[in-house]
Amino acid sequence: MTNLPHEKQIVEYEETIEQVKKQNASNSLWSHDEISKLEQKLKELKEKVYSNLKPWERVAISRHPQRPHTSDYIQSLCEEFVEVHGDRTFSDDSAIITGFGKIDGIKFAIIGLEKGKDTEKRLHHNFGMAHPEGYRKALRIMKLAEKFQLPVLCFLDTPGAYPGLSAEERGQGWAIAKNLFEMAQLKTPIIALLIGEGCSGGALGIGVGDVVGMLEHAYYSVISPEGCASILWGDAQKNAEAAEALKMQAEDLLNLKIIDEILPEPEGGAHKDPEVVYSRVKKFILLKWEELKPLPYEELIEKRYLKFRKIGKFANISV
């Protein structure tokens, strides 16, 4: 398990307790009560560290290499899944996984940004940074979902849409804008869930949902903290200040009505106990589907429209 900087003291304490237990196995120098006290202190230390996380520390959790990705959620939640490839225009974009799956017997059209788990997979999935053909592929699946009256389930996890020349040549901005337009009027329920990074139009391109949920330590922002720091202060090292100023954590976004629900993570992050997270995500998906299922399409689209029109808070300042 990769350890994060804010976990250094916790790791040292865990290693000390483990060493004490190994020594005690051959030579009982520590009593059971003494070891219990050490374990209690470790528990208190974890509570202190994890209950006072700074925004930048939470960004680090959202980027943890062992954090569950879209492929993990599909594998854990779906009894069946058939992947669909290609946009029928240019090529297949591996940064976005699309297909049809069953969750608890209910059929969903599933779309998710995938980063990859190791170096080879990350290169294959382009670190979760989609090209225009990725967004066109996603829209193709959405239109099929609309045709066959299936709910759409979107997993958001990306540092942003691919910013390279090839993507711009093939109409990156247009592809994302087209998805926003089409998702706003799609005649089927859309459930979106932020599972890690949700950066810029790269995430929003599949993020227009009737319900938008968010894992506790995910983030959702118009730009990454490093990018914001580079623009505002000309110094990417001021990422911690930018992370705090952007108000991109789940609690801030819930207050601004950008998201609808926060899904708690295990202590330390989703990677600490993925099974608990899968269970909570499954419960969230099925519950929201039950709430959206009875709504007529006209009402569903109107509610979706009003939801995004009401986002944000504004103040009138008299001069």
Express each pLDDT in 202-245 by its tens digit.
999 999 999 999 999 999 999 999 999 999 999 988 999 999 99
Q: Are 235 and 249 in contact (CB under 8 A)?
A: no
Model pLDDT, residue 30? 74
pTM over 0.75: yes
Return the number of other C-beta atoms located less than 10 Å from residue 159's C-beta: 22
Return the number of other C-beta atoms located less than 10 Å from residue 74's C-beta: 20
How sure is the predictor about 255, in pLDDT bands with cuts at 50, 70 and 90? very high
Alpha carbon distances (Å) from 144 to 110, 150, 186, 198, 202: 11, 8, 11, 25, 22
**Residue 25 in this model has a pLDDT that exceeds 90:** no
In the chain the beta strands, taken as DSSP E runs, fall at: 80-83, 96-103, 106-113, 152-158, 190-199, 211-215, 219-221, 261-263
Superfamily of domain 59-309: 2-enoyl-CoA Hydratase; Chain A, domain 1 (3.90.226.10)
Q: Are 104 and 80 in contact (CB under 8 A)?
A: no
**Which contacts (CB < 8 Å, 24+ apart) does range 249-255 have?**
249/55, 249/58, 249/219, 250/214, 250/215, 250/216, 250/217, 250/218, 250/219, 253/214, 253/220, 254/214
Q: What mean pLDDT do residues 122-133 have?
A: 96
Q: Are 189 and 150 in contact (CB under 8 A)?
A: no
Q: Are 136 and 175 in contact (CB under 8 A)?
A: yes
The amino acid at residue 94 is S
pLDDT tens-digit readout, 57-91: 999 999 999 999 999 999 999 999 999 999 999 99
Tell which wins on pLDDT, 28 or 165.
165
Model pLDDT, residue 127? 95
Domain locations along the chain: 5-52, 59-309
Instruction: Tell me the two tokens of residue 246.
Output: 């952007």
Q: Position of tokens 């699309």?
A: 98
Helices (H) and strands (E) in the chain, counts: 14, 8
Mean residue pLDDT of the chain comes to: 94
**Residue 199 in this model has a pLDDT that exceeds 90:** yes
Q: Are 189 and 289 in contact (CB under 8 A)?
A: yes
Return the number of other C-beta atoms located less than 10 Å from residue 105's C-beta: 8
User: Across the strands, what pairs with 190?
Assistant: 152
Chain-centroid distance, C-alpha 31:
44
**How do beta strands 96-103 and 152-158 pair?**
unpaired
Instruction: Tell me the two tokens of residue 14.
Output: 């865990």
